[in-house]
């Protein structure tokens, strides 16, 4: 495995990568040089400066992983990576505490005029009247975005005896209650009430410029603003106007619309406190980021589940360990369809039943689609692009959860529809570890999905099993297990043989000629 690192990460992270991969560190590589070189690498690790756009991704013919040492992914073309089946991983929690603490530090420095006073005294002056500030005690703070960092900021500001409010339409009410934060149903309500506004949302089409001139008119006179999230969420033009007019008393900024920006007019104002994107710049955060991104990249390169994949469902460690065997089961269920049916798929309906519904089931759906599509598409199929590829082939994917009981503790039921009919299958785990297929298009069966299986559909009558057993023995094919299921006595039966080796075509033809046999399929899982 070959990895290129284009921006600085902690040495501890580099050491972890070098245990299993060849690592090239090229911190000052030019755009043209990177475009020429990227084709030889399986992974690239960047921070916020390197542009991993569609052009670079198209050139990266061997790329499997893009690692972002940090939280935001503004510099990565997520759609292009997903289409190519490239895993994008980041480190959203590794620098959360540092970013939250920097927010508090900038806020305190801003309301107490600390940097201005520091410069004044160090210049040989003395005086304090011009640096009179304000307390946080009793003030109302409005937090825009109550995710990881927003929640940490809220907890710290509550300790200052502040009234903490927040606006985040994507966060459930339970989190607001858990944090002790008053929920605002609209951004406008928050803006009207807050003495201090701090931003903690990602930069998206929805959030870019979300605090513009219109929003400033709703704010209190003398409002104070903090942005340690992403540049551009607060319109710099609107902010400059508010600071110059006195509408805003101060602004504390760690991020900007363009970086670097030494000529930014905001820097010339006395009522701004600015830092050069330092939110994650602590020794502890950088070590955490470097170590975490290294482990995530290696796990992704080795085909393992990763907890911080941006372009597939993320999983807490608890869910990941629980779901691993179910993902194996789901993928094997997916592999069955095209080996038994030759009709194109129009719809896949997956129902999850039992205790499994208490966990995130999105990765299981991806695992099923990966197994379904791998035999029939030319592109590399993985957990990242499986749903994208299904959509591009016109396959509707529906997921549902069912809390009603069944004869199994947990069950994954799948109905695959084609232009003529549908095919149903279901699987579960025995002992929470061993995958079993328990329903195959209406046949109830205890079927262990193994590497080599022979599925035989035949008339339910004496002698068929013996004939097939004899053929396997004469052909030197060892049968590990055999299961037989029938729907109706005297009707059709399904025989499943787990065998130790590939069944050659001539042997399959011999089985087809057995009296009563109507269908034979050799399955590889």
Q: Could you tell me which of 140, 146, 145 has the C-alpha nearest to residue 175?
A: 146
The whole-angstrom separation of Cα 224 and Cα 252 is 8
pLDDT at residue 70, rounded to an integer: 86
pTM over 0.85: no
Residue ranges in the chain whose pLDDT is less than 70 = 313-318, 378-379, 405
pLDDT at residue 135, rounded to an integer: 97
Concatenated DSSP letters of 76-127: B-HHHHHHTT-EEEE-TTTTHHHHHHHHHHHHHHHHTTHHHHHHHHHTT---
pLDDT at residue 188, rounded to an integer: 97
Query: What amino acid positions are annotated as catalytic residues?
Result: 230, 259, 277
Residue 44 token pair = 């690239």
What residues pair up with 443 in beta bridges, in sequence order?
A: 440
* The 410-418 sheet, strands edge to edge: 396-402, 345-354, 410-418, 422-430, 434-440, 443-447
pLDDT at residue 74, rounded to an integer: 84
- Which CATH class for the 2-94+284-301 domain? alpha beta
| Superfamily the domain 450-525 falls into | ACT domain (3.30.70.260)
Answer yes or no: same fold for 96-274 and 450-525.
no
Residue 516 token pair = 């009563």
| Cα diameter, the chain | 106
pLDDT at residue 85, rounded to an integer: 86
- Which fold does the domain 313-449 belong to in CATH? 60s Ribosomal Protein L30; Chain: A; (3.30.1330)
Q: Could you confirm whether domain 96-274 is CATH 2.30.30.30?
A: no
Q: Could you tell me which of 447, 454, 460 has the C-alpha nearest to residue 493?
A: 460
Residue 450 token pair = 């193994």
The gap between the terminal CA atoms of the chain, to the nearest Å, is 27
pLDDT at residue 318, rounded to an integer: 65
Phi-psi region of 214 (alpha: psi -120 to 50; beta: other; left: phi over 0): alpha
What residues pair up with 44 in beta bridges, in sequence order?
A: 4, 66
Q: What does the domain layout of the chain look like in residue ranges?
A: 2-94+284-301, 96-274, 313-449, 450-525
Give the pairing type, strands 272-274 and 248-253: parallel
Residue 419 token pair = 């232009």
The whole-angstrom separation of Cα 369 and Cα 348 is 9
């Amino acid at each position: 495995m070959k990895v290129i690192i284009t921006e600085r990460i902690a040495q501890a992270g580099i050491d972890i990568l070098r245990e299993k991969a060849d690592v090239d560190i090229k911190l000052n590589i030019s755009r043209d040089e990177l475009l020429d070189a990227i084709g030889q690498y399986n992974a690239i690790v960047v921070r916020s400066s390197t542009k991993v756009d569609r052009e670079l991704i198209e050139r990266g013919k061997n790329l499997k992983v893009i690692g972002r040492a940090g939280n935001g992914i503004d510099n990565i073309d997520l759609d292009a990576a997903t289409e190519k089946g490239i895993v994008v991983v980041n480190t959203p929690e590794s620098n959360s505490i540092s970013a939250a603490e920097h927010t508090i530090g900038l806020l305190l420095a801003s309301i107490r005029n600390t940097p201005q006073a520091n410069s004044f005294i160090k210049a040989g002056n003395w005086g304090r009247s011009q640096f009179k500030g304000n307390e946080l005690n009793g003030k109302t703070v409005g937090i825009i975005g109550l995710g990881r960092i927003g929640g940490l900021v809220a907890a710290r500001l509550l300790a200052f005896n502040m009234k903490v409010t927040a606006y985040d339409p994507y966060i459930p009410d339970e989190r607001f209650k858990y944090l002790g934060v008053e929920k605002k149903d609209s951004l406008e309500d928050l803006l009207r009430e807050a003495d201090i506004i701090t931003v903690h949302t990602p930069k998206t089409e929805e959030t870019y410029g979300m605090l513009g001139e219109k929003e400033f008119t709703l704010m209190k006179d003398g409002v104070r603003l903090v942005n340690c999230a992403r540049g551009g969420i607060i319109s710099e033009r609107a902010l400059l106007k508010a600071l110059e007019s006195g509408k805003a008393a101060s602004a504390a900024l760690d991020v900007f619309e363009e970086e670097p920006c030494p000529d930014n007019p905001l820097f010339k104002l006395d009522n701004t406190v600015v830092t050069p994107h330092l939110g994650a710049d602590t020794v502890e955060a950088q070590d955490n980021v470097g170590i975490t991104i290294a482990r995530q990249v290696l796990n992704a390169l080795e085909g393992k589940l990763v907890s911080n994949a941006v372009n597939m469902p993320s999983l807490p460690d608890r869910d990941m360990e629980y779901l691993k065997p179910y993902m194996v089961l789901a993928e094997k269920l997916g592999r069955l369809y095209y080996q038994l049916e030759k009709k194109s798929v129009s719809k896949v309906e997956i129902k999850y039943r039992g205790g499994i519904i208490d966990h995130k089931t999105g990765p299981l759906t991806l695992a099923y689609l990966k197994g379904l599509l791998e035999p029939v598409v030319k592109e590399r199929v993985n957990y990242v692009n499986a749903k994208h590829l299904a959509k591009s082939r016109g396959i509707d994917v529906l997921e549902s959860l069912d809390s009603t009981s069944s004869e199994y503790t947990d069950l994954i039921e799948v109905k695959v529809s084609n232009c003529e009919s549908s095919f149903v299958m279901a699987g579960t785990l025995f002992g929470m570890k061993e995958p079993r297929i328990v329903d195959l298009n209406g046949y109830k069966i205890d079927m262990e999905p193994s590497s080599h299986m022979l599925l035989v559909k035949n008339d339910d009558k004496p002698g068929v099993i013996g004939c097939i057993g004899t053929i396997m023995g004469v052909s030197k094919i060892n049968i590990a297990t055999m299961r037989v299921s029938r729907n109706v006595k005297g009707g059709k039966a399904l025989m499943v043989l787990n065998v130790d080796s590939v069944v050659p075509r001539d042997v399959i033809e011999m089985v087809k000629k057995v009296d009563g046999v109507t269908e034979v399929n050799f399955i590889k899982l």
